[in-house]
Amino acid sequence: MSALTEIKSEGDWNKHSASFPPTTLQIIYFKADWAAPCKQMTTVLETLASSYPVTDPPTTSWICMDAEEVIDVSDNFNVTAVPFLVLRRGEQVLETVSGSDATKVRTAIEKHANSSSTGGVNGTSITPSSSTTGAKSFSTHAPTQQEPATAPEFSSGEVKEDKEALHKRLSSLVKAAPVMLFMKGTPSAPQCGFSRQLVALLRENSVKYGFFNILADDEVRQGLKEFADWPTFPQLWVEGELVGGLDIVKEELSNDPEFLKPFSVAKTHNAPVKESPLPEAA
């Protein structure tokens, strides 16, 4: 799964910029640590990044920069407000998204990721057998320092978010991907039997999803229980609505095996995401 990398200086940016293969979709996020919406957007992007496999050459590259630290780069890209997202391939800017609308950001990224020349299948990052872009097998992968998933640097130790800010953050987070799994651990290293089973179920159904490791962020862990009015994890959210835990997902699938079909990799392969009959379009 991909990680969001921070670039701290113009020099570093220039080096990076020169090294991108021409087909890589560059997802460049400008932020400012003093701006509250950026906290949310960072978490959303880290989570989204985690659902894209690391490939060689890279299909996607996720970069974040402090807009004021790299002022020349920001000027170059006409960054006038934060959070600000630039999507680029090679030297060509494809699209920019200003502001903190998570759905808008996600849609823009998916649109361009799916139209890349490699046929850009961003399969579930933990399905070695069904992935078509040579993603590595993560089944024996142990979590490392680089493991993204959540925003550990934003949990305890940071200023205590007040209720409303947390609520907003959670609202964004549950919509970070069409299918979002809040679990204990990560898909490559689940820390709970129920989370592991749910990951396996999603993999069996070739579902493309984003995940969040609630063990790495206690604020989200407790906040989400209240927000969702649901005391347990794992939690599966679809289109910003809570479906339930392992039991419910199993039950839904046994009643209707096509239940997660609209979100499967097989369906979105080589087709723009918009074609899927997503409930929110109705």
Partner 1 sequence: MASQTPMEDTMRAKIIETLKPSTLEIHNDSHLHSHHKAMAGSTSQETHFRVVITSEAFKNKMQPARHRMVYALLKEEMAREGGIHALQLRTRTLEEETKQAE
What is the residue-wise DSSP string for 8-58? -SHHHHHHHHHHS-TT-EEEEEEE-TT-HHHHHHHHHHHHHHHTS---SS-
Peptide bond into 83 cis (omega under 30): yes
User: 159 vs 9, 155, 219, CA distance in Å?
Assistant: 26, 9, 11
The residue count for the chain: 282
Nearest distance, CB of residue 221 and partner 1, angstroms: 12
CB of 106 or CB of 196, closer to partner 1: 196
Contact 263, 207 (CB under 8 A): yes
Contact 38, 31 (CB under 8 A): yes
CB of 227 or CB of 230, closer to partner 1: 230
Nearest distance, CB of residue 166 and partner 1, angstroms: 19
Nearest distance, CB of residue 213 and partner 1, angstroms: 14
CB of 68 or CB of 227, closer to partner 1: 227
Nearest distance, CB of residue 244 and partner 1, angstroms: 5
* Token pair belonging to 64: 């974040």
Nearest distance, CB of residue 246 and partner 1, angstroms: 7
CB of 125 or CB of 186, closer to partner 1: 186
CB of 12 or CB of 252, closer to partner 1: 252
Nearest distance, CB of residue 198 and partner 1, angstroms: 12
Contact 26, 89 (CB under 8 A): yes
User: Cα(41)–Cα(4) distance, rounded to whole angstroms?
Assistant: 12
Nearest distance, CB of residue 143 and partner 1, angstroms: 14
CB of 14 or CB of 222, closer to partner 1: 222
Nearest distance, CB of residue 219 and partner 1, angstroms: 18
CB of 106 or CB of 175, closer to partner 1: 175
63: burial class by Cβ within 10 Å (0-12, 13-18, 19+)?
A: buried
Q: Residues in the site for partner 1, rule: CB under 8 A?
A: 191-194, 229-232, 242-248, 251-252
163: burial class by Cβ within 10 Å (0-12, 13-18, 19+)?
A: exposed
79: burial class by Cβ within 10 Å (0-12, 13-18, 19+)?
A: buried
- Beta bridge partners of residue 85, listed in sequence order: 29, 97
CB of 107 or CB of 197, closer to partner 1: 197
Strands 185-186 and 189-190: antiparallel
